Amino acid sequence: MACPDPEPEIRVAPRGPAWRGAHLMLACATLLTASAVAGQGMSGAATGAQAASESEEGIPVTDALTREKCGTCHTPDAKGNMSRISWLRTTPEGWDQAIKRMVRLNGAAVTPDDARHIVHYLADSHGLAPDEARPVSYYVEHRAVDETNIPSESVRTACAACHAFAQPLSWRRSASEWKLLQDFHVALYSQADSQYRRPAVDEPGDVFGKTTPVVNKPGTIPLTSGTVALAYLRKTAPLHTPEWSAWSARAQSPHVAGKWLVNANLTGKGTFFGTMEVLPGKTADSFVTRTTLQSLSGGPSITTTGSGVVYAGYSWRGRAQTGASGAIAPDSLDQPVRQVLQFASDRKSAAGRWFWGEYQEFGYGVTLTRADGAPVIGAISPGGIPAGARGQTLRILGDAFPAGLTTHDIDLGHGLSVTRIVSASPGELVVSVDAEGDVPAGLHDVTVGSAVLTAALPVWHKVAYIAVEPDSALARLGGAAHPAGYSQYEAIGYDAGLDGKPHTADDVKVGVVEADFSLEEFRDTWYDDDIKYVGKITPAGFFQPNLDGPNPQRPGNRDNYGNVWVVAKARGLKDANGDPLTAKSYLVVSIPSFKRWDQPEVAQ
């Protein structure tokens, strides 16, 4: 019985809007599973030979079921190492993909329960340390990001022309395993050989990101992109690392049951605050949840129930639902969500994303703060205070605030003074704040007694410019034969900071500003007409793509794909010329993704 297909590939926006369109469509349409392969179809004899040739110390496989189900092809040695498996480490999603490939390609006889057990064991004992997983967490959280972590164009050519660079960086392999992975790409994908053989143009450089140009001497074999990428991955993602050694020595069972404060931000919907009760489940690593969130802008509350699994003591994978039935709008807060979180080592906080949608395009950015009986701050509202404000109302939300607090117990930093406590309860303080006119723009800590929320309160003088978030996105045509992929936008205001220069490091993010959204043609041909066909955007920034085609009303009977600008025009905010502040975001509207993946066993 074959396991279900793996999870959808993340949508990653490459650099530079001028060429994002074609690259985004290619990256999101490409089917990549090769770098998740563990066994890759080798026979027992071949894998035994591979194990014998390994020069690095393997990680023994001690779980009986894993040895039973995988040992037919992955032969063990006297130390308990299993060929291939003992020289690999990756995320729960990576091991899940590997098992599915073994089922499809090699007929591995595992039931869904077997798969869950093996994934859990391997994610625990052959996984990633928290410090290794954190830099690529956006991949499993399905965030659309600009991957600025690609160290050179040669590495991009070899490793990120067809998929996110986070895919290989989610693995740790021995030196020989990285070479075997490259060889497997060549055997399975014809384009991989071409990409690897392209002459390298540069090599990864120093810690400042400066690359080193490649100059091949006449008469020598040119250095290739594949060679550069292989050297980089062997150095950057080896099997044995200090992070893994330290984590393995102190890893514990997941002690995450209890009450957590939830601060959740949803593009276009604002900030939500509430609590998540985590209760023990049927096993030591499984839990059930009940979450209540309240919109800080006055919307209705949301209550969900769900469940989750913790891998390696820190990686949460869960699901939650409101119980709503019938037709639910794509952007409705009643949609079931998938949860990906990473708990901090002290288990006092966690961060991640709760998402939904046919393409995981909707999602909360979430932080959790443990409520263990000590005073703790989880969120503040509104999100900032203008310099010179008098009597500004500020809500401080948290847990276990002590009775009898005075204004002297609440510190917002230099230039801000709490003049009055309007109301107080164990979970919320409402205070009145005065801000001096010359207080510098910046992020202030919020302190209530012994509780501190760092860099939580923006103080600003003037909104110098706005930006549209996300700054680039991918939507999918759909509605006739295939599901649609939507996109939601909001406008963010920024103070230019102490240097008075916009778009520099000291700029202060003020928060969401009111704006009206529209579409504008992104002109890359003389006869561009994409704006007529790609879809519509509401004034509130919700983009709904057109139907999947082909469209007989369009020249050439083409689909309704294209690329456009999403334009935000701020309400009541002017530039130096007295014109409304505006900003743009680049949007690619692509054809449906015809291959759908999922991996329910990772999240129960």
Q: What percent of the chain is modeled with pLDDT above 90?
A: 78
Q: Is residue 264 part of a domain?
A: yes
User: Quick one: pLDDT at residue 549?
Assistant: 86
Would you say how long the chain is, in residues?
604
Q: Rounded to 5, what percent of the chain is helix, strand, coil?
A: 25, 35, 40
Whether residues 317 and 280 share a domain: the answer is: yes
More confident residue, 218 or 420: 420
Reported as type and span, the H/E element at residue 212 is strand 212-213
More confident residue, 239 or 297: 239
Residues in contact with 439: Cβ distance below 8 Å, sequence separation at least 6, in sequence order: 387, 414, 415, 416, 459
**Nearest CA to 238 among 326, 299, 174?**
174
The pLDDT tens digits for 514-541 are 999 999 999 988 889 999 999 999 999 9
Q: Is residue 24 part of a domain?
A: no
User: Quick one: pLDDT at residue 51?
Assistant: 53
Whether residues 236 and 301 share a domain: the answer is: no
Whether residues 82 and 158 share a domain: the answer is: yes
Whether residues 241 and 307 share a domain: the answer is: no
Domain region containing 366: 258-371
Instruction: Answer with the one of 311, 336, 371 that is the final residue of a domain.
Output: 371
Q: Is residue 584 part of a domain?
A: yes
Whether residues 138 and 53 share a domain: the answer is: yes
Whether residues 408 and 298 share a domain: the answer is: no
Residues in contact with 290: Cβ distance below 8 Å, sequence separation at least 6, in sequence order: 276, 277, 279, 303, 304, 305, 306
The pLDDT tens digits for 85-116 are 999 999 999 999 999 989 988 888 999 999 99
pLDDT tier at 205, thresholds 50, 70, 90: confident
The Cα 265–Cα 383 span in angstroms is 12
305, pLDDT greater than 50: yes
Whether residues 77 and 163 share a domain: the answer is: yes
What's at 71, amino acid-wise?
G
User: Quick one: pLDDT at residue 50?
Assistant: 54
Across the chain, mean pLDDT equals 89
The model scores a pTM over 0.85: yes
Counting Cα atoms < 13 Å in the Cβ hemisphere of 576 gives: 1
User: Quick one: pLDDT at residue 603?
Assistant: 47
601, pLDDT greater than 50: no
Q: Are 87 and 77 in contact (CB under 8 A)?
A: no
Query: Considering its fold, how many domains does the chain have in total?
Result: 4
The pLDDT tens digits for 422-462 are 999 999 999 999 999 999 999 999 999 999 999 999 999 99
CATH of the domain at 435: 2.60.40.10
Whether residues 442 and 553 share a domain: the answer is: no
Q: What percent of the chain is modeled with pLDDT above 70?
A: 89
Reduced to 3 states (helix: H, G, I; strand: E, B; else coil), residue 192 is helix
Averaged pLDDT for residues 4-24 = 34
pLDDT tier at 1, thresholds 50, 70, 90: very low
Whether residues 192 and 337 share a domain: the answer is: no
The Cα 178–Cα 88 span in angstroms is 10
The pLDDT tens digits for 482-509 are 999 999 999 999 999 999 999 999 999 9
256, pLDDT greater than 50: yes
152, pLDDT greater than 60: yes
pLDDT tier at 598, thresholds 50, 70, 90: low
Whether residues 363 and 471 share a domain: the answer is: no
User: Quick one: pLDDT at residue 49?
Assistant: 52
27, pLDDT greater than 80: no
Structure-token match 């209550």, residue found: 303
Q: Is residue 367 part of a domain?
A: yes
The Cα 468–Cα 460 span in angstroms is 19
The Cα 122–Cα 250 span in angstroms is 17
User: Quick one: pLDDT at residue 33?
Assistant: 35
User: Quick one: pLDDT at residue 602?
Assistant: 53
DSSP letters of 362-413? EEEEEEEEEESSS-EEEEEESS-EETT-SSEEEEEEEE-PPTT--GGGEE--
Counting Cα atoms < 13 Å in the Cβ hemisphere of 214 gives: 20
15, pLDDT greater than 60: no
User: Quick one: pLDDT at residue 599?
Assistant: 52
Radius of gyration (Cα) for the chain, nearest Å? 26
Whether residues 345 and 393 share a domain: the answer is: no
240, pLDDT greater than 80: yes
Cα 543 to Cα 118, 141, 152, 333, 567, distances in angstroms: 41, 22, 34, 17, 12
User: Quick one: pLDDT at residue 414?
Assistant: 96
The pLDDT tens digits for 49-74 are 555 578 899 999 999 999 999 998 99
More confident residue, 214 or 236: 236
14, pLDDT greater than 70: no
Q: Are 457 and 442 in contact (CB under 8 A)?
A: no
Q: Is residue 473 part of a domain?
A: yes
User: Quick one: pLDDT at residue 21?
Assistant: 36
Instruction: Answer with the one of 320, 340, 371 that is the final residue of a domain.
Output: 371
What's at 284, amino acid-wise?
A
Reduced to 3 states (helix: H, G, I; strand: E, B; else coil), residue 55 is coil
The Cα 345–Cα 358 span in angstroms is 33
Whether residues 229 and 87 share a domain: the answer is: yes
The Cα 10–Cα 138 span in angstroms is 8
User: Quick one: pLDDT at residue 13?
Assistant: 35
